[in-house]
Amino acid sequence: MTETGQFPGTPSLAFVGAGPRTTGILERIAANFDSLWPGGPLRIDVVDPFPPGGGRIWRPDQPVWMLMNSRARDVTMFTDESVACAGPVTPGPTLFAWAARHGAAAAEQEAVAAVETATGQRPAAPSLAAEARSLAPDSFPSRRLAGAYLAWCFRRAREALPADVEVHDHRAAAVRLSDEPDGRQRISLSDGGSLLADVVVLAQGNLDGSMDTAQRGHAAFAARYGGAHLPPGCTADVDLTAFPPGADVLVSGLGLAFVDLMSLMSEGRGGRFTRDGGGTMRYQPSGAEPVLWVGSRRGVPYLPKTGVRLRGEDPGPARFATVEAFKAALSRDADEGPASGTSAPGTAPGLWALTAKEIGWGYYRELFTGHPERTGTSWAAFARVYAELDWDSPELHSLIHGSVRAADRLALDTLRAPLSGRSFPAGRELDAWMRRHVGATVDRATLPAHSAWAGAARSLFEAGNQLAEVLVSDGDGLTPGAERALGRISEFNSFFSSGPPPFRLEQLLALSRAGLVRFLGAGLRVRADASAGTFTATSDSLSTERRGTCFVEARLAAPDVLHGGDRLLRTMIAEGRATARRSPGARNASRLVAGEGDYRVTEASGRPHPRRYALGAFATGGSLGSFSVPGTNSPFFRQNDALGRRLIRQLHAAARS
């Protein structure tokens, strides 16, 4: 067995996972190193089958039409003056600034090197140079260009460390983690080797989930009747050849996984999107496309990313949906979720009302200050009364109705569930309604007259950061009802703020006009019908049903450390080296238990392990995202800085022992 990391007196740190989280922590270690490390060697090992920097999700061998869900100007891996952390601020370029400053050659070099590192073969140069040259601040970069940026960030952090700090990459998977008699951690690798480390950080990022009983039944049904079934997962990673040209494919889900599926089944099958003389998106089929019949619980796609600039006053930091207000609402132990507006026993009152009031503040501030001709009073007069009233109060309702015309009022319930109470006699009527609805959402995201929606998005972003702080600090103490309420707010946040680029929805409209996407509406239900040998879809929006031999569940799988695809985590739990907690309200979803605020992995005994840490969506304690928007005091950076400083001190102590 090959063994590394055994250098007497040399402390060592190992990361499992080589994606943005590891890259961010490594950058913070480099930034804090000179002030906290007294000198001497250090070894850092990074374990991942995929290239360091981007890891699996941002790997460089993806099709060019697989895009980021963020604009180039909104993606950064570096701290700025807004970040309230103990370590030094070390500014660095956003993805846009990196491409502009370092040029196409850097993007090409990073991508080629990443592919070569991953495969051992020098590939034909990926065509990233042209994209890097043409990148604009508002562009949505390809995921492989993002991977090149992340690879550069990883290399910059590595090069910022002193010469006697060695960073080693291991292109393998970690399969087991155990304690040595002296307390060091042994990581067994999928290639038969192993390594030793004083401290281990688990940062695997997005995990594969597991299939529940219904999904396993769907898979068996499809195999029995010659169809195909695709369970929840990362769409870009799956084989879609089982879905033949012309097949009727039932699709559950209209979020980002569906957008990936739509792209892979159109551009990925040789089709082309073009614009006609009037600017309308059209689709030229290749003939290899299936027909996607798509619906979901809500029945409409995520709202597109807004690109409209504010014309009035910035709404500023959260005023109502603050950490303190959220905690006070949670302490009352009841729930007022976005679905109802009434309190239910054992849940948490006010959580949705606080969030909605914050959204309304950003929306109406921009409407009053950016479009005063469309309001009936001044912002100062409106804001003074608005700030004192509860979101659901009749007085606030009257204030809005007396000051804002009907077309400009913020109707969050309608926004959240626009198909509620609507039914259509046939699919063509629903298709026509959907095209009007999707077209209107694109207009709101792209036309300056709708800049109030940008104000709403800005305030929801601030509220989301406050909510993330609550989950990080108090996640283990939440009641099931509170977790469900927070989960619903997080889901609405994703629907409102994490949607696709606007042109993706224009492509959806083009595919609908071409007859290659048909809509099934809200309240979608899909069952396996053995009498017909097909999957059958029904919904609350249609009185008719649709049959097909193919069924795709187009959503990301919820992390499942108990039964999912991560062998290391499953083994740790089975051996009592870690514990897991099931996620309320989610099928086959579980997370590794890690201490809130210090991220130490909790063993079966209930003791936090002093040498193991876990951060990511798969673990409690630190589940924030992969990137951050500049100037927002992102919790992502604060987490990375706090853990990076702790690791340096702990490794220094290991060197002295």
CATH code of the domain containing 70: 3.50.50
Instruction: Say if 317 falls within a structural domain.
Output: no
Instruction: Say if 637 falls within a structural domain.
Output: yes
| In a shared domain, residues 394 and 534 | no
Q: Which of 125-134, 239-248, 320-329, 348-357 has the lowest mean pLDDT?
A: 125-134
Assess contact for 655 and 165: CB atoms under 8 A: no
The answer on pLDDT for 333 being more than 70 is: no
| In a shared domain, residues 334 and 471 | yes
User: What burial class does residue 239 get, using C-beta atoms within 10 Å of its C-beta: 0-12 exposed, 13-18 middle, 19+ buried?
Assistant: exposed
Assess contact for 57 and 51: CB atoms under 8 A: no
Can you give the pLDDT at residue 348? 47
Q: Greater confidence, 276 or 1?
A: 276
**What predicted TM-score, i.e. pTM, was given to this entire model?**
0.89
Assess contact for 622 and 635: CB atoms under 8 A: no
Neighbours of 553 (CB within 10 A): 20
| In a shared domain, residues 240 and 378 | no
Instruction: Say if 275 falls within a structural domain.
Output: yes
117 — pLDDT class (breaks 50, 70, 90)? low
Average pLDDT over residues 429-443: 97
Average pLDDT over residues 266-290: 96
Instruction: Say if 595 falls within a structural domain.
Output: no
Average pLDDT over residues 558-563: 89
Can you give the pLDDT at residue 112? 62
Can you give the pLDDT at residue 340? 42
Rounded CA-CA distance 477/331 in Å is 10
| In a shared domain, residues 106 and 13 | yes
Q: In the chain, helix, strand, coil percent, each to 5?
A: 40, 15, 40
Average pLDDT over residues 431-459: 96
Assess contact for 650 and 479: CB atoms under 8 A: no
| In a shared domain, residues 328 and 472 | yes
Assess contact for 437 and 418: CB atoms under 8 A: yes
**Residue that terminates a domain, selected from 497, 515, 534:** 497
Most confident of 41-45, 635-639, 650-654: 41-45
The radius of gyration computed from the CA coordinates of the chain, to the nearest angstrom, equals: 25
| In a shared domain, residues 401 and 444 | yes
Instruction: Say if 592 falls within a structural domain.
Output: no
Angle, in degrees to the nearest 10, between helices 502-513 and 256-266: 50
| In a shared domain, residues 473 and 336 | yes
Q: Greater confidence, 120 or 335?
A: 120
Query: What average pLDDT is seen over the chain?
Result: 89
Place of tokens 């739509």: 262
Instruction: Say if 562 falls within a structural domain.
Output: no
Can you give the pLDDT at residue 585? 59
| In a shared domain, residues 249 and 333 | no
**Looking at the 3D structure of the chain, how many domains does it have?**
3
Can you give the pLDDT at residue 1? 40
Average pLDDT over residues 588-617: 91
Angle, in degrees to the nearest 10, between helices 143-160 and 20-36: 20
Spell out the SS3 assignment of 379-423. Answer: HHHHHHHHCCCCCCCHHHHHHHHHHECHHHCCCHHHHHCCCCCCC
| In a shared domain, residues 111 and 223 | no
Range of the domain at 384: 323-497
Instruction: Say if 601 falls within a structural domain.
Output: no
**What is the b/e burial string over 60-72, where b = at least 16 CB atoms within 10 angstroms of the residue's CB?**
bebeeebbbbbbb
Average pLDDT over residues 282-292: 98
* High-pLDDT (> 70) share of the chain, %: 89
Can you give the pLDDT at residue 45? 98
Assess contact for 46 and 22: CB atoms under 8 A: yes
The answer on pLDDT for 153 being more than 80 is: yes
**Residue that terminates a domain, selected from 510, 531, 553:** 553
Residue 303 main-chain phi, psi, to 5 deg: -65, 140
Is the backbone of residue 621 left (phi > 0), alpha (psi -120 to 50) or beta?
A: left
Q: In what order do the strands lie in the sheet with 600-602?
A: 165-170, 42-47, 12-16, 199-202, 608-614, 600-602
Average pLDDT over residues 53-76: 89
| In a shared domain, residues 515 and 541 | yes
User: What burial class does residue 321 get, using C-beta atoms within 10 Å of its C-beta: 0-12 exposed, 13-18 middle, 19+ buried?
Assistant: buried
In this predicted model, what pLDDT tens digit does every residue of 171-195 receive, in sequence order? Answer: 999 999 999 999 999 999 999 999 9
Q: Greater confidence, 437 or 475?
A: 437
Instruction: Say if 130 falls within a structural domain.
Output: yes
Rounded CA-CA distance 194/204 in Å is 18
| In a shared domain, residues 287 and 433 | no
Can you give the pLDDT at residue 133? 84
Nearest Cα neighbor of 618 from 566, 575, 657 is: 566
* High-pLDDT (> 90) share of the chain, %: 70
Can you give the pLDDT at residue 61? 77
| In a shared domain, residues 480 and 524 | no
445 — pLDDT class (breaks 50, 70, 90)? very high
The answer on pLDDT for 643 being more than 70 is: yes
